[in-house]
Amino acid sequence: MVALTRLDCMIESSALMRQALAQATHHAAHREAFGHKLGDQPLMQNVLADLAVESEAALRLTMRVARAVEEGESDPVAAGVARIATAVGKYWICKRAAAMVTEAQECLGGAGYVEESILPRLYREAPVLAIWEGCGNIQCLDVLRAAVREPESLEAFVAEVRTASGADPRLDSAIARMEAALGNAEEAERRARSTVECMALALQGALLVREGDPRVAEAYCARLEEGAGRMFGTLPPSIDAAALAERARPRLSA
């Protein structure tokens, strides 16, 4: 039961992230500051593009886990992927949702803080998804426990990530970091968050490179590079941030 409610937390977090992104991109397309639309300003485009990448990575991981859960009813390899990826995704996506929603609030400035906009509600909602059904530490310890008790599930997870090996050198480095973290038994419990973060980044990268929009995958891999910025809005100039932001903007049908 807990596996399903943890997947539910991932679905809700991904939905909050998409809603926050829709609010931010819509606002930026219409609000003028310093003589231009916010959405035309290069730095705002970088922030919106980065939020769009985060949202898409979260949704892709969530959908992959959902498929593994469904297929796992009859397929032991899929069940293994689901066993590990549910805990990894619950940890990572639910944590990232809170960070992303607050950045989206900032895109609206003061209007994103006051209760007239929807964003304060998203901001209040996000943390509970990381807390209930097991807090972050519990998810990370669950990954360690599953790796020991059900090693075949960890093998299935690693094999899933490796399906994207060779597609991008930055992703290859992320996969290597994940394998090094998993292979290091020393103080595994103390390092559990770092290890699970490596697993989440490698899996999201693999899914995007394999099945995602190529521009989103490229931006995600740029974030995997050593020395990449830690805040949203630090994508390098090689990324077409304007196109990514525009792609994420919701369009209302007539």
Binding stretches for ligand FAD (CB under 6 A): 128, 131-138, 141
Residue the block writes with tokens 């590079």: 225
Calculate the alpha carbon distances from 120 to 7, 31, 103 in Å.
Answer: 24, 19, 12
Name the helix (H) or strand (E) containing 129.
helix 119-131
Smallest distance from ligand FAD to CB 152, Å: 25
Q: What's the count of helices (H) and strands (E) in the chain, helices before strands?
A: 10, 2
Residue with Cβ nearer ligand FAD (90 or 223): 90
Smallest distance from ligand FAD to CB 193, Å: 10
The backbone torsions φ and ψ at residue 36, rounded to the nearest 5 degrees and listed phi first, read -135, 160
Residues with Cβ < 8 Å from 179, sequence gap 6 or more? 158
Residue with Cβ nearer ligand FAD (181 or 192): 192
Smallest distance from ligand FAD to CB 124, Å: 11
Residue with Cβ nearer ligand FAD (131 or 176): 131
> What one-character-per-residue DSSP string does 194-243 give?
HHHHHHHHHHHHHHHHHHS-HHHHHHHHHHHSTT--SSTT---TTS-HHH
Residue with Cβ nearer ligand FAD (133 or 172): 133
Smallest distance from ligand FAD to CB 189, Å: 7
Smallest distance from ligand FAD to CB 187, Å: 13
Q: Could you tell me what percentage of the chain is helix, strand and coil, using 3-state DSSP and rounding each to the nearest 5?
A: 75, 0, 25
Residue with Cβ nearer ligand FAD (185 or 254): 185
